[in-house]
Amino acid sequence: MALSRMDDLYRQVILDHSDNPHHHGELPDATNNIELKNPTCGDVLKLDLNIEDGVIKDAAFSGYGCTISQASASMMTDAVIGKTTDDAEQMVQTFSNMIIGEDVDTDSLEDAAVLEGVSKFPARIKCATLAWKALHKAMNKEESE
């Protein structure tokens, strides 16, 4: 049955992350934050970052969205905590390339690398990229409001 193709998209790791998201919540003393909406589906993602001396000390996300967008945010926060903003910027690029099906070295992305399968589901690419887009925007914001 064709539903078996779903396994490419909803790998077990992805379902685990969306069922039990890591770093879910808010950072009261965030240095950088952003709220992004996905206008096509009405999903909302809030991302808080704590950046000190160019290093992402902590990250947390909240809002609501589909399995893919929630899992992606959980994996993204896992991967970028402890990284310099330059490295994180590099990871944003790696993720964007991976998700459109380009052949890139995805080791730095940790769990987030399994989202590679999303490239075969064009309608869902935006769900996967929302968290990384939020990261990019939050890091490039001068200071939090």
Residue ranges binding another protein (CB under 8 A): 1-7, 9-10, 12, 15, 40-44, 64-68, 121, 123-124, 127
3-state SS of 14-66 is HHHHHHCCCCECCCCCCCEEEEEEECCCCEEEEEEEEEECCEEEEEEEEEECC
Question: Least distance in Å: CB of 96 to another protein?
Answer: 20
Q: Which is nearer to another protein, 9 or 114 (CB)?
A: 9
Question: Least distance in Å: CB of 2 to another protein?
Answer: 4
CB within 8 A of 13, min separation 6: which ones?
71, 111, 114
Question: Least distance in Å: CB of 118 to another protein?
Answer: 10
Q: Which is nearer to another protein, 29 or 123 (CB)?
A: 123
